[in-house]
Each structure stands twice: as structure tokens, then as C-alpha cells.
Structure 1
Amino acid sequence: MKRFANKTRKKLSHEIEELKAQNASLFNALLGDSATVHNGIPNIYMQG
């Protein structure tokens, strides 16, 4: 049972990493160079 849990956790964390990467490229496509994406979360820096 423990082995199953570890396997599932690994699979899920891998899927999460893939989703973060997809998020990052989506935000980059939408926001262009003004956005830097860290950990799947966009940080937008205002240039003034």
C-alpha cells in the first residue's frame, strides 16, 4: 500500500510540474516579455 502511495505521489507531482510549465508558457504568450513566471505563478513588473 505504501509503495502505491509513493508511486501515486510521484506521478501527481510530475503532472503538477507539467501543468506549471504549461501555465508559464501560457502567461508568457499572453503577457509577452513583461512577465516572468516563477513556479507557475506570473509576476508582472511595471516599468514606469
Structure 2
Amino acid sequence: MRPLNSLVNATKKIAEGDFDIQVETKGSREINRLAESFNDMAVYLGKQSKR
């Protein structure tokens, strides 16, 4: 799957409450940074939802 499509699908999972989703960090440096930030956000949201 292409990196941006993967991020779009993962964003939909987050919206559904699946905070365990992580995306692969592959592609250009800019896409990698976006994917890493997304993964960090997912971890943070998952921790916040368990409070």
C-alpha cells in the first residue's frame, strides 16, 4: 500500500477508536516524519483514552 493511502486508512481507524494502529515509516523523508508523528499521536491518544 502506498504511504499516504496507509496514513488515510490509519486515520479512519483512529476516528473509529482504534488507537493501537501504527503505520509503516517508509518512503521519502517527509512521509517518514509524517508517519512517525502519526504513530506518536496514536500512542498518546490511546493512553489518554484509558484514563
TM-score under structure 2 length normalisation: 0.47
Larger CA Rg, structure 1 vs 2: 1
Higher RCO structure (Cα 8 Å, ≥6 apart):
2
TM-score under structure 1 length normalisation: 0.49
